[in-house]
Amino acid sequence: MPPHPSLLCGLFVALLLVVGPLGCSKSPARAPTAIKAVGNASCPVSDKPVAGDPAAPTFSSDFEGWRVGFMCPVCKGEFDGATLAKKKRLLAKAHGR
C-alpha cells in the first residue's frame, strides 16, 4: 500500500524546515552608501529658500545617494510621495541642471 499523500506532504514540509528552500542563499551584506548633500539653496518643489543651512537643511530627503533640502515639510512630503520620474526631475532641478 503506498504512503498516504498527507504523510508525504508532511515529510516534504519537515525537510524544507530543516534544510531550507533549495537554491536560496543569503546575499552578502552591502556596505551602506554614503549620502552626498546636494547643497541646494532653493527648494526644488517651491523655488523658495531651503530652511536652515543648505549643507544641513531642516527638512530633507535622501534619494539615490543624495540629500535634497526643502523649504518646509509640505514640500518634503510632496517630494517623498512623487513618482520616480518626478523625483529625478526635482533632483536635477536641485542640482541646477
Domain count, the chain: 1
Any domain includes 22: no
Any domain includes 4: no
Any domain includes 53: yes
Any domain includes 66: yes
Name the DSSP letter for residue 11.
H
Q: If you write DSSP's letter for every residue of 32-74 in order, what string do you get?
A: PPPPEE---SB-TTT-SBPSEETTEESEEEEETTEEEEESSHH
Domain containing residue 56? 36-95
Q: What is the pLDDT of residues 32-85, one digit of tens each?
A: 667 787 788 889 999 999 988 877 889 999 988 888 899 999 999 999 999 999
Q: What is the pLDDT of residues 2-32, one digit of tens each?
A: 666 665 556 555 544 555 555 555 555 665 6
Answer yes or no: is pLDDT of 90 > 60.
yes
Any domain includes 9: no
Q: How many helical (H) and strand (E) elements, i.e. helices and strands, does the chain have?
A: 3, 5
